Structures are given as C-alpha cells and as structure tokens.
Structure 1
C-alpha cells in the first residue's frame, strides 16, 4: 500500500467499513484492493486506514460497477448509522427498516472508532449505538460525538441491556440522547424514526 498525505477534505475519504458498503464488498476484500494499490489509501497517525473516495469512484468505473447511491449525501433518504458489535442485531435493525418501507439508508458498523472516523463523510441523520463494545465503548463514543459539530443535528439512541441506574453509574449519557434498553422495542423505535422524519420535514432539513 502506497502512503499518501492527508491533504484531502473530510468529504474526500472514508474508512474501510464505509468503503466496503459503497462497493458492496467485504472488509477483507477492500483491504486486499488497498494492498494491491487498486484503491488509494493511507493511514492516520492513530493507525486508522483512510481510503480515497475518488479512487472508489474510479474503481467502479473501471469495473463497470453502478455508482453507489451512498456516495451522494443529498439523495432524499434518511441516513441511519447503526453501531453494534453484535452482527445479528445490526442485520435485524436494517431488515426492519426495509420491512417498514422507510426511505432509509442504513450503514452498519461493528466499531465505534470506525464510525466516529467516518461521521463527517456520511453525515447521518440518526445514530443507533450500543453501549457495551470493545476498544471504544458507546459511552466514550457518545462523549466524543457530543463535541462534534454535527451533533446538534443528529437524533441519537443508545441501546444496551444495562439498567438506567447502571447507565448513570457509568457516567450517564449526553443531553438529548434517548435510551432504549435491550431487547430492542421495535414499535418504539419505529415511532421514534417516524417522528424524526416528520420533524425533518417541518424543519426542512435537507436529506
């Protein structure tokens, strides 16, 4: 993998997980493409891989792949970021959104670190995050998120099997974060997302 300077804006690159969603490939396949220099990438000082969106577009053209809608952040869908290290939970949530017929684009992450790094690239409207995860847990993620410039425009739901008292003992949640105890109450979540969509229309926030 060739090293490239971090000279591009946040909108010009993404993480490996986001790239795998854009290309509809596994993370391992994307990493292999980077190693073969078919995708332009570099690493941050913290050791996290960044991939050029321009090189992803070029790869799609070269291999006659359809341009991914997720690369256009203003295409009229509500963008939902799901962060949970439990794959069945991630897939269940995404499948439910599809079953409900919502105009939603869901991006799935098993790592809060990767999700935080890709936050500016994708600009989600809604974030659903677990609290108990390895490396960076949900409490740490939400603390970092609350300091982000996009935070005030994002509807955030924290999910966990922890009781409210246990959440408070861990330091609590930032103002504005909704808490939903697992197992996920899908009817509540559906109502919450419906309310988010209505408020977005009222406030005329671009999707």
Structure 2
C-alpha cells in the first residue's frame, strides 16, 4: 500500500525544533490526540514516521493551520513542549510485550516504548536510547538475569535510567537473585496490569526529578 503523501518516512535531516509529537500538537491546539491524528489523515497537517514508528508533525504545518483558522484573532502559541519520555522493555514473551504495550499506550500517551527480545540486544538498545525507565525480565535467553541487572545498576552509562523488574517467579523462586534485586521494584507478572502502571508512573517521575547520582 502506498503511504499517504501527508505521512511520509522520516526526513533525512530531522531538527527537533521543527516538529512536534501528536500529544504536543493536541495540547497546543486544545484538542484530543485522536482529533490531531484525523487532521493528519485528512492532509491538514504534515507528518512523518520515525524509524521507531512514532509520528512527528511539522511545526510549520501547524502554524499554517492556525493562521488559516484564526484569521483576525490572536493565534495561540505553543507552550514549552513536554519532553517525550522513553521506556525500554527487555522481555522475550510476546504476550507480555503486547500487554505492556497496551498499558503504556492507554495510560502513558507521551511515552515512547521500545522493546528488546533478549538481554544482549537490550543492553545495546539501553546504551543507545538512554531510556528514562528500563523494564527488565529477570529470565531472558542468552544472558544471566542477575548479571544483566548488575550491569544495568552499576555501569555509569545506565545511571540515568530507573529500573523495574518483571518476573513470573514467586518470592521463593527469586531467592537466587536476591542480591541483584535488592532495592529494585519487582512486578510479579500475574499482577502486571494492577502493579505496573502506578510503579511506572512513580519511576518516570523519579527519572525526571531526581539527579542521576540519586536515581537508584
């Protein structure tokens, strides 16, 4: 299927000052996010997709739309953009990936969720993305979970990222990993829907407000 001309692949040169997220445009215009998405679909706003599949909207196209719809009146100016927060999920279960994606999309619309299927790829992505929050399954193919957690907690490269551990192991089964889990919040997968959203909210707030040296 040919992409609509108003939603194109990401530009070769992408200046952050020249584009907004869908949420930022919605706040700027005082609209719902869905309304902004429909404006893009109708060709009223120009947008493209990042390599990660996230939509970016041209700031100049928003300004043109405002100018054409506020003739003779004061055109509102955007507030300071809310930084897009990045969360990385390192998890090999497709079911768990899907569930976390749904929760993030519904409850944290300003969060960009990235997913790694294994620990090695996850470490590489964490180094590249520097996510606000890392959600990690302690049982992953290709790497020892305790070793992964220890690396994430002690390496300076990951000092700005908050940690959350997901696991299907109960408290007794987690005993061999106690040294790696000390001080790290743990979500038991059977209670993921109830426990992850409030914990993720708290970790995102800490990532925003707490100096890196105090992040753990």
Is the TM value for this pair above 0.5?
yes
1:139 is the counterpart of 2:146? yes
Specify which of 66, 73, 79 is matched with residue 48 of structure 2. 66
Q: Distance in 1 between matches of 2:147 and 2:211?
A: 31
Specify which of 193, 196, 201 is matched with residue 194 of structure 1. 201
Q: Distance in 1 between matches of 2:11 and 2:183?
A: 37
Q: Distance in 1 between matches of 2:194 and 2:183?
A: 20
Q: Highest Rg: 1 or 2?
A: 2
Q: Distance in 1 between matches of 2:13 and 2:161?
A: 31
Q: Could you tell me which residue of structure 1 aligns to residue 186 of structure 2?
A: 179
Q: Could you tell me which residue of structure 2 aligns to residue 14 of structure 1?
A: none
SS for the counterpart of 2:187 is strand
Q: Could you tell me which residue of structure 2 aligns to residue 157 of structure 1?
A: 164
The gaps in structure 1 that reach 5 residues or longer are: 1-23, 25-55
SS for the counterpart of 2:172 is helix
Asked whether the equivalents of residues 167 and 173 of structure 1 are also in contact (C-alpha less than 8 Å), the reply is no
Deviation, structure 1 residue 140: 2.2
Deviation, structure 1 residue 93: 0.3
The gaps in structure 2 that reach 5 residues or longer are: 1-8, 15-46, 54-80
Q: Could you tell me which residue of structure 2 aligns to residue 82 of structure 1?
A: 89
Deviates more, 1:76-85 or 1:192-201: 192-201
Deviation, structure 1 residue 201: 4.6
| 1:146 to 1:67, Cα distance in 2 relative to 1, 3 A | same
Q: Distance in 2 between matches of 1:144 and 1:175?
A: 14
Deviation, structure 1 residue 174: 4.6
Specify which of 79, 89, 106 is matched with residue 99 of structure 1. 106
Asked whether the equivalents of residues 86 and 132 of structure 2 are also in contact (C-alpha less than 8 Å), the reply is yes
Q: Could you tell me which residue of structure 2 aligns to residue 120 of structure 1?
A: 127
**TM-score, normalised with respect to structure 2:** 0.56
Q: Distance in 1 between matches of 2:99 and 2:154?
A: 30
Deviation, structure 1 residue 98: 0.8
| 1:58 to 1:109, Cα distance in 2 relative to 1, 3 A | same
Q: Could you tell me which residue of structure 1 aligns to residue 17 of structure 2?
A: none
Asked whether the equivalents of residues 131 and 139 of structure 1 are also in contact (C-alpha less than 8 Å), the reply is yes
Larger relative contact order, structure 1 or 2 (CA cutoff 8 Å, min sep 6): 1
**TM-score, normalised with respect to structure 1:** 0.58
